[in-house]
Structure 1
Amino acid sequence: MNSDDLEMFAHVAKTGSFSRTAMELGANQSTISRRIGLLEAELGVRLFRRSGRGVGLTERGEQLLGYALTLERTLDEAGKAMRNGDERGPANLTIAAQPTIARIMFGQLGHRLKARYPDTRIRFVEGLASQILRRLSDGDLDLAVMYVPEHPGAMQHDVLLTEDICLVTPPDYMPDDGPVGVHALGNIPLILPSTHHGLRLLVETLAARHGFTPNIALECDGSISLTKRLVMERCGCTVLPAASVVEEAAAGRLRCFPLVSPVVRRDVAIAWPQNRSMPEGVWNVAQMIRELAAELVGNGAWPGTTMLTSDTTGLTRSNG
């Protein structure tokens, strides 16, 4: 006996007819009659009294109907609980991002998450790649939106988009507006993080591939805002995603030059802890992030980016 048997039994009890039950369930009358006979044989009792007007429950049938209706309610409540749980979302949700990504995404993402999951306690975290990787390893984060590191370590990831990386300089540092060859970075004083993640590793990887030594003017482990301020104060130049200097470039406080020969890009991905399966509610949040990223790229709010649906040929990617 299983839940299907009890569901069919309850249906016959409700209609009082094998033929009507067969019609409503889209089955043959002989199939319904045979299954009821097998159920009676298994239980060793008669469940229905047959007559020319249909079938009626015996005393033992009335008893079994109580169990069948209880099971039906239980299954219905279980389904509703699962669906409602998914609609409510996770009780707590922690999402991290690197500074440029956080500035672009977190505002709209916060509005969308609160509209869809008003009961969820949402926490946003901004951090450098090394900090986010450590927290992913510790299991402190549900999701992160970050540049794919050279060595992903304790994270699983799903690539969202690819983003241009450019040389950022004071407004009068370069004599023309053209792109800058990667090899020229060896002659430009750079402000970079000290940690061997992110942009520092990107530049060191480019240097190793193209035969130059980075000229490190300053090491800055603060925010991108601080790095940009140091460039404005003419302490050096830096390399950053094009999207991170849109406002300063438009105001003439900084200039942004594409890096070429090869074009330098980094992939942005949704990441989650290595040894953790993604719960259904968190998976839905990840899809919201993907949809938001596509909108931001499509309407120009995330400049210098391309959504990744397949591998882009003709470009050299430095996953720094």
Structure 2
Amino acid sequence: MSSLNSDDLACFVCVANTQSISRAALELGADQSTVSRQITRLEAALDTRLFHRSGRGVVLTEAGATLLGYARQVAATLSEARAAMRASSAQGPAQLVIAAQPTIANTAFAAIGTALKERYPATKLRFVEGLASPILSWLAAGDIDVALLYLPEQQGALKVDVLLEEDLTLVTPASWSHVGPTFQARRLGEVPLILPSTNSGLRMLAEALATRVGITLNMAMECDASNAVSMRLVEDGCGATLLPFAAVADRVAQGRLHSARLIDPVVTRQVAVATARNRPAVAELWDVMQTVRQSVRKTVMSGAWPGARLI
């Protein structure tokens, strides 16, 4: 015996209400042959005739009249379920934890928090800042729900949605008047650099760039502290660093630092919103991700994420 399905039952109710295959087809936006097949399939599943057919339309059999009561109960239950799901979606998850790397967090968290609180006022939001490696571990362990991070080389355990890309810039003391608005990447070996240690994504990117252009990085010092500490070291003349323009825009505007876009080649990093493949998703995650994406898009389009380009 074939199994029943809600689509066939909904079609049956429509035919019973209109007492016509053709009128039911018009209401359902289907052709008559499709409606006839659904009724035939339902009759085969129940092993009984549901309608008496004539040139003037269709009339329920006794079995059909019995089924109509149950079919209407099913339709009502499905309608209640859809309403309950919509209400749940509107309320949002009970708690949502979002992590980001420091530059991204500083630029995006305020706008994302505002958008999510407006969309889900009852949701408890928690924002976490961290480097790429801990963030990936937190995602895998289920300690966070969503991450905003620079796209890692290996993405096997992640579901990612790329949001934007940024050019990497050479950030120098404001007093380095010999550095212009752009700087050739192949000349980075001439610059004393302040970068994180080798387990950092930024350091690995810098090392890969050096290999690509055939130079050796001139490391003045390593700094695994925040970007703010690295920028203070640069301000004090200890060397230069590599950061996206958004990280230093305020200090450049204040005349405390100088930023030069890397060229020959241009060096870019992509920012993505990510979730873990091996963890169960929080409720309404798709809608949460859309809200995050829209918030980031508005931030970039407003100019509040300097140097970013939407993808």
TM-score range, shorter chain: 0.7 to 0.9
State the aligned residue count. Answer: 307
Counterpart in 1 of 2:302? 299
Q: 1:205 aligns with which of 192, 205, 208?
A: 208
Counterpart in 2 of 1:260? 263
Q: How far apart are residue 212 of structure 1 and its match?
A: 2.1
- Under a length normalisation based on structure 1, what TM-score does the superposition of the two structures give? 0.79
The answer as to 2:79 corresponding to 1:76 is yes
Q: 1:249 aligns with which of 247, 252, 256?
A: 252
Q: CA 1:227 to 1:67, structure 2 compared with 1: closer, same or farther past 3 Å?
A: same
Contact 1:192 1:200 in 2 (8 A): yes
Q: CA 1:265 to 1:39, structure 2 compared with 1: closer, same or farther past 3 Å?
A: closer
Structure 2 matches for 1:222-301, cutoff 5 A? 222-276=225-279, 281-301=284-304
- Cα RMSD of the aligned pairs, angstroms, is 3.6
Contact 1:149 1:197 in 2 (8 A): no
Q: How far apart are residue 277 of structure 1 and its match?
A: 7.2
Q: State how far apart, in whole Å, the 2-side matches of 1:159 and 1:35 are.
A: 43
Q: State how far apart, in whole Å, the 2-side matches of 1:105 and 1:229 are.
A: 22
Q: How far apart are residue 299 of structure 1 and its match?
A: 2.5
* Counterpart secondary structure, 1:167: strand
Q: State how far apart, in whole Å, the 1-side matches of 2:59 and 2:257 are.
A: 86
Which deviates more from structure 2 when the two are superposed, residues 169-178 or residues 297-306? 169-178
Q: CA 1:5 to 1:262, structure 2 compared with 1: closer, same or farther past 3 Å?
A: closer
Which deviates more from structure 2 when the two are superposed, residues 24-33 or residues 239-248? 24-33
Q: How far apart are residue 73 of structure 1 and its match?
A: 1.5
Q: Which amino acid aligns with 1:128?
A: L
Q: How far apart are residue 239 of structure 1 and its match?
A: 0.8
The answer as to 2:116 corresponding to 1:113 is yes
Q: How far apart are residue 256 of structure 1 and its match?
A: 0.8
Structure 2 gaps, min length 5: none
Q: Which amino acid aligns with 2:139?
A: L
Contact 1:190 1:236 in 2 (8 A): yes
Contact 2:157 2:277 in 1 (8 A): yes
The answer as to 2:155 corresponding to 1:148 is no
Structure 2 matches for 1:1-320, cutoff 5 A? 2-4=5-7, 6-7=9-10, 10=13, 64-152=67-155, 154-276=157-279, 281-308=284-311
Q: State how far apart, in whole Å, the 1-side matches of 2:162 and 2:248 are.
A: 23
Q: How far apart are residue 211 of structure 1 and its match?
A: 2.4
Contact 1:160 1:290 in 2 (8 A): yes
Q: State how far apart, in whole Å, the 2-side matches of 1:37 and 1:235 are.
A: 82
* Counterpart secondary structure, 2:284: helix
Q: How far apart are residue 140 of structure 1 and its match?
A: 2.4
Which deviates more from structure 2 when the two are superposed, residues 19-28 or residues 177-186? 19-28
Q: Which amino acid aligns with 1:129?
A: A
Write out per-residue CA displacement over residues 55-75 of structure 1, whole angstroms, 9 at most, x where no aligned residue.
998987765444233212111
Q: State how far apart, in whole Å, the 1-side matches of 2:254 and 2:172 are.
A: 14
Which deviates more from structure 2 when the two are superposed, residues 299-308 or residues 6-15? 6-15
Q: Which amino acid aligns with 2:150?
A: Y
Q: State how far apart, in whole Å, the 2-side matches of 1:85 and 1:164 are.
A: 41
Q: CA 1:243 to 1:62, structure 2 compared with 1: closer, same or farther past 3 Å?
A: same
Which deviates more from structure 2 when the two are superposed, residues 263-272 or residues 8-17? 8-17
Contact 2:115 2:295 in 1 (8 A): no
- Under a length normalisation based on structure 2, what TM-score does the superposition of the two structures give? 0.81
Q: Which amino acid aligns with 1:138?
A: A
Structure 1 gaps, min length 5: 309-320
* Counterpart secondary structure, 1:208: helix
Q: Which amino acid aligns with 2:78?
A: L
Write out per-residue CA displacement over residues 103-125 of structure 1, whole angstroms, 9 at most, x where no aligned residue.
11111111111111122222211
